[in-house]
Structure 1
């Protein structure tokens, strides 16, 4: 079972990540970054955000978020994603 604290942080990060429009993201996709942060309960965590082409370059963009408690616990992290559609945004 994935830690609910990590899931909550991943969901919050995803809400912010998808506020960028397809038009804004197309210029930098594929792109990703990571940073150290604190979960809602105050734990030190790593957060990774990436924007990748969902199927083909120039199409929909897949936004993926991973929140985990350090390198050795990457596989136990919370993963969540959403698609930013090209349709209507080009």
Structure 2
């Protein structure tokens, strides 16, 4: 994780993960695999890059892994948050 502003980056990563997980299973399934990167602002006013990925998880079978990374522009590492969503049965 970036040593500058780790709490700010982590808070935004968790916030973005919560928003990504709010999609219904059907919506997630339609867009997987998919990812994007966009610019955003943290609560503290830092300009950041937010990368969001929906990918098929290996376990449990048929699940979708949602990964969010928030980093300062030009940096390779930042704060990460991840969730695995199992299919609706």
Q: Name the TM-score, length of structure 2 as normaliser.
A: 0.87
Aligned mates of 1:27, 1:11 — CA distance in 2: 23
Q: Does 1:54 align with 2:57?
A: yes
Q: Does 1:4 align with 2:7?
A: yes
Aligned mates of 1:85, 1:23 — CA distance in 2: 12
Q: Name the TM-score, length of structure 1 as normaliser.
A: 0.86
Aligned mates of 1:25, 1:45 — CA distance in 2: 25
Q: Tell me if the contact between 1:21 and 1:84 (Cα under 8 Å) persists in the aligned partners.
A: no
Structure 1: gaps spanning 5 or more residues = none
Aligned mates of 1:74, 1:37 — CA distance in 2: 16
The corresponding residue for 1:63 is: 66
Count of matched residue positions in the alignment of Structure 1 and Structure 2: 85
